């Protein structure tokens, strides 16, 4: 055998790829054809940290001892909702095809929305740029070079008006992936809806608004945990009273998984975040059956096909049981775990990007078989850049092929009763409960986060996964096996510098044209309400109508709440 060295390329996945950091020279052993075929035919490529035992080739009745279908499964649409949250599921209505979109200016994203709606998308999902996520206006010095790069720049009411130009808000449901500034984006949306003459009770959609997973995984936070949770409960309370069809939180495991967690960790940390929000809302004085039906979830669908399906089924069962037994929910709607799914960004590769179409299709099928309520399918080019039009259309067509060219939607929970699936669902539930117990022993999720426990667990899992990729215990096609020297020849979306210049100019003009005295008075009213611990949603809506910007609102609240940095030596 001949030995040679080569430089191993970074995968460069948009979601924070696991398949990175192999930057030094690596020795590659050149095998002859016979040896290579033998090795690959014997390779049991599987996810590290999986709950599937390596020494078990098949499953039988004894693997699910004492399994009581009437207790563990029930019927679709009925407690414990293992088989689905609605009686008819996709036979009555397909999942919402909600492609995650946003780049550059509000005008550009408005055009992308219309493009996707014209090609069969059934719901909108907005990606915001980093300054918007972190509470800075586009003209702030810290925004320079980031405006419109990772999503759309929205920091004024004018931006939101443009974003939804010619899109009636009473006709679409809108999801906004926004967290520390979620309450401000909701206020913008409400103001635009009122300008369109749409009553609040007709608005349908979601703000992500899940700050706990930001401390755990994605790291986009502004304020300390306690005031951040307070702002979330403000939106929960406001929506329960005024926007009954709106989901004020999308409790998100997606970013936890993208950071490197296992499927079980994603499940357990996400549900514990959800239980934490329920606890705080009840402490606010809200009745659980008043707000719980409006809570929603957001999960990742990864490449470990059967494990992902089991994760979704276990999530519904655990949530239903906790809501009924621990929080005293009486309405069935309070026990229904409704969730959006996005295919795994971190599974995508920059090399051989066309392979990502196949990966996304497999992950999308797992989400549908797992009973998702809405779905985003990643585009093949997302390891390289924000999606180009053609790539986004292929990703949408992937969902449409599953929906209209297969019989998958015709049967509810078709894998129920499989020894293997029921074994995985039971084991997923059991291992999640063990993690819940550890977190409760630490004093709850907020205290666990301050101690860095979930963060460390995710880091450990990510390291183990990366090491197994580098050691070829887990094969990634085109990365550590079947790699090729290639020139990537697919269209790449580029955000030009002129886009930032245009956005900054428009923000400055917006500020110059308003009544500054009125804006300053509204900001002062907001700050005083924060000092009195009042619900800030009405004050925020009033402020954005007076043309206060996102950055100005955040800066005013920093005077009351301060900012948050992770403790040193957390890892």
Question: What would the pLDDT profile of 20-40 be if each residue is shown by its tens digit?
Answer: 434 333 434 556 777 777 777
Beta carbons of 551 and 155 less than 8 angstroms apart: yes
pLDDT, position 46: 66
**Residues 176 and 281 occupy one common structural domain:** yes
Beta carbons of 335 and 362 less than 8 angstroms apart: no
Distance CA 319, CA 442 (A): 21
pLDDT, position 44: 59
**Residues 462 and 506 occupy one common structural domain:** no
Q: Tens digits of per-residue pLDDT, 399-423?
A: 999 999 999 999 999 999 999 999 9
Stretch 146-169: mean pLDDT: 96
**Residues 457 and 517 occupy one common structural domain:** no
Look at residue 505 and tell me whether its pLDDT is greater than 60.
Answer: yes
Distance CA 47, CA 306 (A): 12
What CATH number does residue 461 fall under?
A: 3.20.20.240
| Cα dihedral sign, 197-201-202-204 | positive
CB atoms within 10 A of CB 373: 21
Q: Tens digits of per-residue pLDDT, 175-234?
A: 999 999 999 999 999 999 999 999 999 999 999 999 999 999 999 999 999 999 999 999
Domain final residue pick, 452, 470, 488: 470
pLDDT, position 43: 61
428: in domain: yes
The DSSP element (H or E) to which 28 belongs, if any, is strand 25-30
Q: Tens digits of per-residue pLDDT, 36-77?
A: 777 777 665 667 778 888 778 899 988 998 888 888 999 999
pLDDT, position 27: 39
Print the SS3 string covering 146-189: CCCCCCECCCCHHHHHHHCCCCCCCCCEEEEECCCCHHHHHHHH
Percent of the chain predicted with pLDDT > 70: 93
**Residues 261 and 373 occupy one common structural domain:** yes
Stretch 513-538: mean pLDDT: 98
In sequence order, which residues have a C-beta less than 8 Å from that of residue 561 and are 6 or more positions away?
223, 224, 227, 228, 530
Of 313, 305, 296, nearest to 246 by C-alpha is: 296
| Domains identified in the chain, total number | 2
φ and ψ at residue 176, rounded to 5 degrees:
-120, 115
Angstrom CA distances, 88 to 91, 371, 412, stand at 5, 11, 7
Percent of the chain predicted with pLDDT > 90: 80
74: in domain: yes
Angstrom CA distances, 255 to 15, 58, 215, 221, stand at 8, 32, 11, 14
Of 422, 283, 399, nearest to 341 by C-alpha is: 399
Please name the residue that has the structure tokens 């697919």. 490
**Residues 358 and 214 occupy one common structural domain:** yes
246: in domain: yes
Print the SS3 string covering 517-531: HHHHHHHHHHHHHHH
**Residues 103 and 233 occupy one common structural domain:** yes
Stretch 357-385: mean pLDDT: 96
Look at residue 285 and tell me whether its pLDDT is greater than 70.
Answer: yes
Domain final residue pick, 447, 470, 493: 470
Look at residue 123 and tell me whether its pLDDT is greater than 90.
Answer: no
5: in domain: no
Distance CA 56, CA 74 (A): 28
Query: Over the chain, what is the mean pLDDT?
Result: 91
Distance CA 558, CA 520 (A): 16
In sequence order, which residues have a C-beta less than 8 Å from that of residue 137 and are 6 or more positions away?
131, 143, 155, 156, 507, 549, 550, 551, 552
pTM, entire model: 0.91
Stretch 302-307: mean pLDDT: 96
**Residues 358 and 417 occupy one common structural domain:** yes
**Residues 365 and 280 occupy one common structural domain:** yes
Stretch 558-570: mean pLDDT: 89
pLDDT, position 139: 97
Beta carbons of 278 and 287 less than 8 angstroms apart: no
Structural domain of 538: 501-561
Of 145, 91, 72, 160, nearest to 426 by C-alpha is: 72
56: in domain: no
Stretch 118-142: mean pLDDT: 93
Distance CA 398, CA 384 (A): 20
103: in domain: yes
Distance CA 251, CA 207 (A): 10
Q: Tens digits of per-residue pLDDT, 161-175?
A: 999 999 999 999 999
pLDDT, position 30: 58
Look at residue 17 and tell me whether its pLDDT is greater than 70.
Answer: no
Beta carbons of 280 and 324 less than 8 angstroms apart: no
pLDDT, position 8: 36
55: in domain: no
Structural tokens at position 407: 């019989």
Of 94, 90, 89, nearest to 78 by C-alpha is: 89
Look at residue 548 and tell me whether its pLDDT is greater than 80.
Answer: yes
Distance CA 280, CA 564 (A): 20
**Residues 88 and 173 occupy one common structural domain:** yes
Burial class (CB in 10 A: 0-12, 13-18, 19+), 67: middle
Q: Tens digits of per-residue pLDDT, 460-477?
A: 999 999 999 999 888 999
**Residues 515 and 406 occupy one common structural domain:** no
Stretch 5-14: mean pLDDT: 37
Greater pLDDT, 489 or 23: 489
Of 132, 150, 131, 151, nearest to 141 by C-alpha is: 131
Burial class (CB in 10 A: 0-12, 13-18, 19+), 129: buried
CB atoms within 10 A of CB 381: 26
Greater pLDDT, 494 or 4: 494
**Residues 333 and 412 occupy one common structural domain:** yes
**Residues 182 and 305 occupy one common structural domain:** yes
Distance CA 297, CA 413 (A): 19
481: in domain: no
pLDDT, position 571: 67
pLDDT, position 66: 83
């Amino acid at each position: 055998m001949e030995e040679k060295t080569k430089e191993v390329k970074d995968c460069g996945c948009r979601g924070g790829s696991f398949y990175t950091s192999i930057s030094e020279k690596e020795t590659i052993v050149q095998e002859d054809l016979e040896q290579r075929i033998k090795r690959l035919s014997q390779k049991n490529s599987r996810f590290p940290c999986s709950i599937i035992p390596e020494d078990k080739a098949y499953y039988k009745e004894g693997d699910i001892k004492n399994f009581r279908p009437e207790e563990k499964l029930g019927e679709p649409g009925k407690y414990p909702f293992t088989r689905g949250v609605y009686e008819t599921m996709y036979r009555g209505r397909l999942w919402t095809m909600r492609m995650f979109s946003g780049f550059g200016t509000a005008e550009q994203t408005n055009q992308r929305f219309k493009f996707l709606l014209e090609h069969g998308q059934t719901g909108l999902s907005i990606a915001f740029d980093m300054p918007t996520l972190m509470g800075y206006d586009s003209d702030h010095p810290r925004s320079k070079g980031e405006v419109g790069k990772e999503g759309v720049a929205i920091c004024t009411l004018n931006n939101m008006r443009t974003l939804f130009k010619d899109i009636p808000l009473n006709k679409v449901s809108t999801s906004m992936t926004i967290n520390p500034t979620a309450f401000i984006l909701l206020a913008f949306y409400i103001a635009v809806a009122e300008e369109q003459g749409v009553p609040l009770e007709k608005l349908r959609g979601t703000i992500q608004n899940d700050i706990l997973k930001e401390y755990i995984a994605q790291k986009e936070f502004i304020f300390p945990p306690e005031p951040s949770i307070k702002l979330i409960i403000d939106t929960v309370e406001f929506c329960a009273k005024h926007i009954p069809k709106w989901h004020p939180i999308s409790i998100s495991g997606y970013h936890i998984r993208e950071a490197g967690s296992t499927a079980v960790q994603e499940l357990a940390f996400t549900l514990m975040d959800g239980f934490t929000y329920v606890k705080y809302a009840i402490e606010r004085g809200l009745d659980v059956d008043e707000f719980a039906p409006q809570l929603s979830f957001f999960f990742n669908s990864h490449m470990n096909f059967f494990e992902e399906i089991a994760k979704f089924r276990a999530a519904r069962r655990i949530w239903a049981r906790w809501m009924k037994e621990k929080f005293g929910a009486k309405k069935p709607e309070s026990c229904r775990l409704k969730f959006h799914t996005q295919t795994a960004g971190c599974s995508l590769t920059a090399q051989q990007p066309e392979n990502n179409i196949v990966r996304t299709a497999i992950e999308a099928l797992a989400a549908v078989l797992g009973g998702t309520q809405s779905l985003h399918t990643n585009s093949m080019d997302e390891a390289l850049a924000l999606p180009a039009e053609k790539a986004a259309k292929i990703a949408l067509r992937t969902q449409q092929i599953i929906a209209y060219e297969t019989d998958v939607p015709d049967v509810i929970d078709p894998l129920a009763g499989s020894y293997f699936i029921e074994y995985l669902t039971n084991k997923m539930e059991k291992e999640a409960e063990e993690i819940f117990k550890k977190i409760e022993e630490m004093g709850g999720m907020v205290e666990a986060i301050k101690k860095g426990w979930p963060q460390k667990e995710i880091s450990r899992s990510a390291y183990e996964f990366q090491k197994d990729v580098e050691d070829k215990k887990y094969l990634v096609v085109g990365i550590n096996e079947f790699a090729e020297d290639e020139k990537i020849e697919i269209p790449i979306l580029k955000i030009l510098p002129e886009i930032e210049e245009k956005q900054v100019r428009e923000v400055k003009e917006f500020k110059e044209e308003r009544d500054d005295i009125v804006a300053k008075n509204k900001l002062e009213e907001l700050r005083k309400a924060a000092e009195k611990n009042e619900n800030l949603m009405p004050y925020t809506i009033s402020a954005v109508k007076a043309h206060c910007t996102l950055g100005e609102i955040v800066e005013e609240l920093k005077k009351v709440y301060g900012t948050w940095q992770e403790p040193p030596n957390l890892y």
